[in-house]
Homo-oligomer: A and B are copies of this chain.
Amino acid sequence: MSVTAAKGFTAAGIAAGIKESGSPDLALVVNTGPRRAAAGVFTSNRVKAAPVLWSEQVLKGGEVSAVVLNSGGANACTGPKGFQDTHATAEKAADVLGLSAGEIAVASTGLIGVLLPMDKLLPGIETAAGRLSEHGGEKAAIAIKTTDTVHKTAVAEGNDWCVGGMAKGAGMLAPGLATMLVVLTTDADLEAAALDAALRDATRQTFDRVDSDGCMSTNDTVLLLASGASGITPGQSEFAEAVRAVCDDLARQLIGDAEGASKDIRIEVINAATEDDAVEVGRSIARNNLLKCAIHGEDPNWGRVLSAIGTTKAAFEPDQLNVAINDVWVCRYGSVGEDRDLVDMRYREVKITADLAAGAESAVIWANDLTADYVHENSAYSS
């Protein structure tokens, strides 16, 4: 399962002592080949963590032999010392694994603005390397958790090849290009360019359309590594579909485990003039705090949907807008539609459909409600 579902990969997850709780906090994923092709997508936040700056450079070569991931500290806004620490992390892994640091990607997650305890992290890499296993995917997925209540893995099977992956993320979920830490692996025999095309296409439609709380992280990283160990080169569209399926599965798991959330909100914008319009409107609805509160209270308050649509630049006429909540068209032609009392909102998943009546494009954005638990979880010191 996870990152070791594909042949040609080993992984490990250990407690290095980075987290004071003693929970697992260090993961290692190694590509044992024969191929070491890779692609990556990173946060579009202009304030980027040291490991993002490092890994972006590594990915330019199109090859990654190993990934070091840690929870317990984001190593973001840590200045030159933070970057040196990421460099030292890659050097240590290269040393232990007999590789070059330029092939080692690094990803970190946790509190921003705190230096990592390198006296714990570096020995941890040595320990993790000693525990690498073809069955280590699950442990690696557990070691990258922060406030996640469950670890997240997914696999899509091809014909004698597969794509597997792991993800972490429970807050600060509103990617510009990717979200939180995700490592995907495949034993398909593909070059970096093919991986890159499949990964960008998949993240654009999955992680990029997850908007739990409107807050974009400094550390978002999605990596896709190919070992070629299956000896099979699937067709690009078949491969892209498998990558998209795994990303979609992991993205849904992120929303399902978002901090303090009690509802998963599926926002589908239909009949938009362009796909960009559909995404802009979906994101505006997803980020409306008043609506998020109403959904939490199981109140089909469609006026808040219209007020969110009205702040966008998308093509629409206010008196042509239609809105359904759980398939009840509570707003027709920008005005009162079916009886709001018909809307049943007892279940975790809530569906909002916004019909812009302006074209034929559509998009789905996933969001969460806003709850007192979210406030509590994020108002504690250094959460």
Chain A residues at the B interface, C-beta cutoff of 8 Å: 45-48, 74, 76-79, 81-82, 111-115, 171-172, 176, 213-218, 287-290, 293-294, 296-297, 299, 301-304, 306-312, 316, 318-319, 321, 331, 333-336, 370-372, 374-383
Contacts and interface: CB of A to CB of B under 8 A. Distances in A.
Secondary structure call for the A interface: loop
A47 B375 contact: no
A113 B331 contact: yes
Given A293-B379, A296-B375, 17 more contacts: A45-B311, A47-B309, A47-B310, A76-B303, A79-B334, A112-B301, A113-B331, A113-B335, A113-B336, A114-B336, A213-B289, A215-B307, A217-B307, A293-B378, A297-B378, A299-B382, A374-B375
Contact of A47 (B76, B78, B297, B307): B307
A53 to B, nearest CB: 10
A341 to B, nearest CB: 10
A260 to B, nearest CB: 10
25 contacts: A47-B307, A47-B309, A47-B321, A76-B307, A77-B334, A77-B335, A78-B335, A79-B336, A81-B335, A112-B301, A112-B303, A113-B335, A115-B336, A214-B288, A216-B310, A216-B311, A217-B307, A218-B307, A289-B378, A293-B374, A294-B378, A294-B383, A297-B379, A371-B375, A372-B375
A74 B303 CA distance: 10
B290 A176 contact: no
A297 B382 CA distance: 10
B375 A307 contact: no
A48 B309 CA distance: 11
A348 to B, nearest CB: 16
A269 to B, nearest CB: 15
A383 B216 CA distance: 29
A376 B77 CA distance: 34
Contacts of A383: 294, 297, 299
A115 B335 CA distance: 10
A133 B267 CA distance: 50
Contacts of A374: 289, 293, 375
Contact of A297 (B48, B82, B216, B381): B381
A379 B296 contact: yes
List the 6 closest pairs (A to B, CB-CB), nearest first.
A112-B303, A297-B379, A47-B310, A79-B335, A372-B372, A293-B378
A306 B379 contact: no
A297 B375 CA distance: 9
B171 A290 contact: yes
A294 B383 CA distance: 9
A80 to B, nearest CB: 8
Nearest to A295: B379
A302 B76 CA distance: 11
Contacts of A214: 287-289
Nearest to A335: B79
Contacts of A308: 215
B380 A370 contact: no
Nearest to A81: B335
Contacts of A334: 47, 77, 79
